[in-house]
Amino acid sequence: MTVSPSPRNIGPFTVSPIGLGCMNLSHAYLPRPEPRQAKKLLLHALDQGVDFFDTAALYGFGANEELLGHTLMGRRDEFVLASKCVLGGKGGQRGLDGSPQAIAATLEGSLRRLNVEHIDLYYLHRLDPNVPIEESVGALVRAVEAGKIGAIGLSEMSAKTLRRAHAVHPIAAMQTEYSPWTRNAEVAVLDACVELGVGFVAFSPVARGVFAGGVGPDGVPEGDIRATMPRFQSPHLERNLELAAQFKTIADQAGCTMAQLSLAWVLSRRANIVVIPGTTSEVHLNENLATLTLPLSVETLAAVDTLLTFEAVSGPRYPKTAQAQVDTETWPGEPLE
């Protein structure tokens, strides 16, 4: 089989199955590219037909939105633009504020930094447990009515929260980590998205770089956000790299790269899924896009399922503080600390 290159629907938008997550151009992962290299990568993606770019107010605490604003907006009609609010800088620390006042203020900042008057898709980046989801969504409904955003999305939220939000206003997209080694979305939210007609946007679809060959036995550099994640710490890292080696064997036998196999597996799960891998490399971006022309057998994809069950990967996906900011379902027995 070949994963269809045909466009997929995310709410009112039709986009290629593979977009671009822009976070690691400015935030979280190391090493980061120089601004000139980052701009070149963004323009290359646009030239290669990428038509869905994902950023957030959090990324670089505004620097990522500014990067896109300076680089892409001269070709604004060629792509769907997505950004996010609620999760951001608070007192010099990463924090949540889902109040309508904070959402309105963050949106104004996003519009200014992105150099636009309208953002196509604007997400609530996380659920603020201190603010009813209905109030947070209501703030974005008013932004839709004012013409400042086109559609509303949620990120890392549960099926229950999705239903509550969708009752206030149609939700266009749910964005959640989803890859062969993070399958929480399969507990409930993927099915809820299909039921409600909500698009699903998979971030970190190559296992935060592990299935792109970007993580070795020494782990990741100090200061990289993954260094705080248990899966990238001993003794979990060693076990997970063993799984990655077995995953690579499946990819080698199929005649593709690990990243291509991981992307193809995610895209094969539902017809409403779009993936947004991030990269700082034009070569890797081209490799990712080539996934849509690769023939992969049903047996190959089944081998991924057999290797990477819910229980296979070692360690929690987030440290305790970050896990507390995630509303996504956990699977029975999932380690959380």
> Which residues does the annotation mark as catalytic?
59
For 219-247, b/e burial (b = at least 16 CB within 10 A) is bbeeebbbeebbbbbeebbeebbebbeeb
Distance CA(290)–CA(255), nearest Å, equals 12
3-state helix, strand, coil in the chain (%, to 5): 45, 15, 35
Ramachandran bin of 126, using left for φ above 0, alpha for ψ from -120 to 50, beta for the remaining angles: beta
Distance CA(215)–CA(217), nearest Å, equals 7
Q: Which helix (H) or strand (E) holds 152?
A: strand 149-155
CA distances for 182 relative to 18, 164, 205, 226, angstroms: 18, 24, 9, 14
CB 205 within 8 A of CB 263: yes
Enumerate residues 6+ apart whose C-beta is below 8 A from 5.
16, 17, 292, 293
Q: How far apart are the first and last CA of the chain?
A: 39
Q: Are strands 8-10 and 13-15 parallel, antiparallel or unpaired?
A: antiparallel
Distance CA(287)–CA(264), nearest Å, equals 12
